Homo-oligomer: A and B are copies of this chain.
Amino acid sequence: MPMGRWEPNARDRLAQAAMTLFQEHGYDRTTVEDIAARAGLTERTFFRYFTDKKEVLFGGSDALHERIVTTIAEAPQGTAPLDAVAAALEAMTPFFKDRRDHVRARQTLLAAHAELRERELIKLASMASAAADTLRKRGVTEPTASLAAEAGIAVFKVAFERWLEDPKAQDLSRHIQLGLDELRAVTASTGTVPPATPPQRPARPAKASRR
C-alpha cells in the first residue's frame, strides 16, 4: 500500500502546527512560514488551504454551519421558529462535548486578539444568516426568521461563555436550555405594559416605572 506522494492530511497538520505554535509563542509572534515549516510545507501551501492566517483556527465551522441548516430543515412541520433554532443549537453541542479544555485554550487566544474575535463573530453571523434562510424556506417570513436566528445565536454566545466558565461543568446543552428560558423571561412582560408582579431578582427594590 504505497503512500501518496505527500504526507496526508496537510490541512490538519497545518491546523495543529498552528495551534501548538500559537500557544507556545503567541499568535503574532508566529509567522505563517513557521506554521508551514512545522507542518513540513511552505507558506504558499498554507494559503492554499486557508485564506487567512486567522482562518486556521476555524476549521470546524463548516460542519457546524451545515448541522444548523439540516437540523432546522428537518424540524417537524409546525415547529415554532425559535424552537427550530433551539433544536439547531442543541445539535451543535456534540461538536464541543469532551473538548472543553481544547475549546478553552482556543478561547484564550481569541480573548487576546480582536482580529480573531472578529472572525468568530462573522462565522456566527453567517450561521445566523443561514438559519434565517432555512427558516424562510420553511415559510417563516421576515423579520421573524432573522430575529429568531439572531436571538438564537445570542443565546448560544452567552451559553457558550457560561459553559466555559461553569465551575460545575454542566453540559453546554444545559446552558443553552437555561439561556433560552432566560431569553423568554427577559422578553416576556415588558414593553409598554409593565408586569403586575415583579419578575424575580430584585437587586435593588425599585418602584415600577413605565416608559
Contacts and interface: CB of A to CB of B under 8 A. Distances in A.
A205 interface: yes
Nearest to A51: B114
Given A151-B151, A157-B150, A139 B77 contact: no
Chain copies in complex: 2
B184 A187 contact: yes
Interface residues of A, number: 77
A168 interface: no
A191 B180 contact: yes
A117 interface: yes
Contacts of A69: 208, 210
A188 B185 CA distance: 9
Contacts of A198: 77-78
Contacts of A186: 81-82, 144, 147-148, 151
B195 A184 contact: no
Contacts of A196: 78
B83 A203 contact: no
Contact of A203 (B79, B139, B191, B202): B139
Nearest to A148: B186
Given A117-B122, A118-B119, A126-B211, 6 more contacts: A78-B196, A78-B208, A79-B211, A86-B211, A151-B154, A151-B186
21 contacts: A69-B208, A78-B198, A78-B206, A82-B190, A114-B122, A118-B122, A137-B203, A138-B203, A139-B202, A140-B201, A141-B201, A141-B203, A143-B158, A143-B159, A147-B155, A147-B179, A147-B186, A148-B186, A154-B154, A184-B188, A184-B190
